[in-house]
Structure formats: C-alpha cells, structure tokens
Amino acid sequence: MSLLPDFEYRRPGTLKDAISLLSDYGEEAVLLAGGTALVPRLRLGLKRPNLVIDIKEMAEDLRYVKNEAGVLRVGCLSTIYEIKKNALIRDNYPSLHEAATLMASEDIQQRGTVGGNILQDTRCTYYNKSERWRKGFQSCFKIGGAICNAAKGGKKCLSVYSGDLAPALISLGASVCIMSSDGERELPLEDIFSGDGSAPFSLTGTDFLKEIILPIARKKGGYDKFRLRKSIDYPIANAAFSIDDEHHGRVVVGSSGPKPFIYDFSSPEELNKIPGRAYDDMRLINNMSFPPLYRKHLAKVLVERLIRRDIK
C-alpha cells in the first residue's frame, strides 16, 4: 500500500459541526470513525478527499445501544464488539448478534463501527488493487469510466456489497436515522442502497447516518457467511434470516451484487422456496475470488443451512 494522500483534517466536537462541514464540502469530504475500511482505501488511492472529518470525538453522543420506548436504538459509533457483547441484542436479535460475532478479528471488532460497516464501499477484483495495478486496465464504471472490466459489454457497475451487519439488520426490519443540514429523516435500511456499484448508496455527500432503529421483538433467526480467512477477509457469500412465531419473516442474501437480495415470506411453504429463488435471481460476474456459479451455490447452501438450523 502507498502513503496516505494529502488532505485537510478536521475533528469537530459536535454533530452540528460535523454536518456543517459535510454541507460545506459535500462529496469532497469523508467521515473517519474506526478507519478499518477507509484507511486502506485511502492508501490504495481509491478515495482522494479534500477533507477527512474525524468523528470519534462525538462518541459520547453517537456511541450507544439503548431500549427507548419499545425501540432499540444503536448509535453509529457503537463498535462491532459492543454489538457482539450486548445482552439485549444477543437475546432478541440472534442474526445481528451472529453477524457481529463472526466479523473479522476481535481487534477489528474493537475499532470498527456500526455506521462504517453499513456504509462500506462495494468491492471488485479489478478495483480493490493498487493504483499501479489498476493502470493495466481501462477505467471502469467504478472510477468514472465507461466499461466493466469483469463483464465485457456490461452496462453498469456490478461491484459487490460485502457488509456483514446490513443483511442481518434488514432481515430484522431495521430503519436508519439520517441527518443533514435540511433536518432529520427516518427510512428503511434497504432504501439506502441504490443497486449501482459505482455509487452504491442513495445518500448524498451531505447526509450523516446517525443511528439504527429496531423494534423490540424476540425472533428466531441467524446469520452465516463464507470467507477464505476468518480473521480479515470479506464474505464471499453471506445470508441472514429472521422469523417470528407466526412464520412471518425475511431472508436477506448479501455479497451477491451491489445491494442485498431481500425475500419476505409468510408461510413455511414460501420460506422453503427462497433458496432456489435466490439462486435463480443472482446474476453474478467474475469479479470476486471465486467463480460466479460457485458463489451462487454457496449463497443457496447458506440459506438452506440457516433455515434447517433455526426452524425446530
């Protein structure tokens, strides 16, 4: 990896100040929390911001897990380790607990934040490389070009979203609180995904993901994934599953495109069809460590395994 690029560094003490900086700089600014995803991207030259806004000073306001009037609120600066160790999450949200537990090493869990994991950039074999390596190929959609190096003739970027927490949270019906200079709004977590790998989120450069909101409701379910090395690698395939006592629930399949695949069901019969539906729906290209057909198979097996394990 190369040295960090030149940029201006600011460390606001309040959320209001951070949003003001985002409003002033827009897409030219990036937020720094744990840094486990951002710093490697900066070193690879994948991001060259004019301003880095370090938000760790706001931990007192944005680092929490609390039950508030029947709703669980999780601040964006809560760490993955705190999610893993929280008893309320362990007892009521098994898919979220497992997603945090299976993520990377404990060192990374101690630094990585909920907000950072949700808003991590999409990945591709032809993109997540050094600047010198990328010069051997034409500029792709992800970096402002007009082609896809992984799929000749492709019409848009199909880089892969590999976050752990988002599939689990979406399976639980999570929403997010977004703040900007225009105020505050709440929307379902799945709505922040654009489906375009070159710009994977529908949020603007002035938006700030403040917290995640979940209804307090005990559900069965779980999360599983496949990756090469447990301590550091991103998932090649991952899936989350939640179900209530009335057999209503949701299956979410990740690491299979620019946004997660979501399947709602309201009966055991509908649930049992989802592994096959997910396999048929995936239109993968050769842009990860494993071939597309094998990744489709892995995703199908993960969903089948979760259903067998958690439906007693």
CB atoms within 10 A of CB 47: 16
What is the gyration radius of the CA atoms in the chain, in angstroms?
19
Nearest to 271 by CA among 200, 237, 221, 209: 221
CB 151, CB 285: distance < 8 Å: yes
User: How far is Cα of residue 92 from the mean position of the Cα atoms in its chain?
Assistant: 21
Q: Which helix (H) or strand (E) holds 118?
A: helix 114-118
- pLDDT tens string for the chain (312 positions)? 588 999 999 999 999 999 999 999 999 999 999 999 999 999 999 999 999 999 999 999 999 999 998 899 999 999 999 999 999 999 999 999 999 999 999 999 999 999 999 999 999 999 999 999 999 999 999 999 999 999 989 999 999 999 999 999 999 999 999 999 999 999 999 999 999 999 999 999 999 999 999 998 778 999 999 999 888 899 999 999 999 989 999 999 999 999 999 999 999 999 999 999 999 999 999 999 999 999 999 999 999 999 999 876
Considering the domain 61-119+159-310 in this protein, what is its CATH number?
3.30.465.10
> Encoding tokens for residue 205?
């450069």
DSSP secondary structure letter of residue 143: G
d(CA 100, CA 81): 7
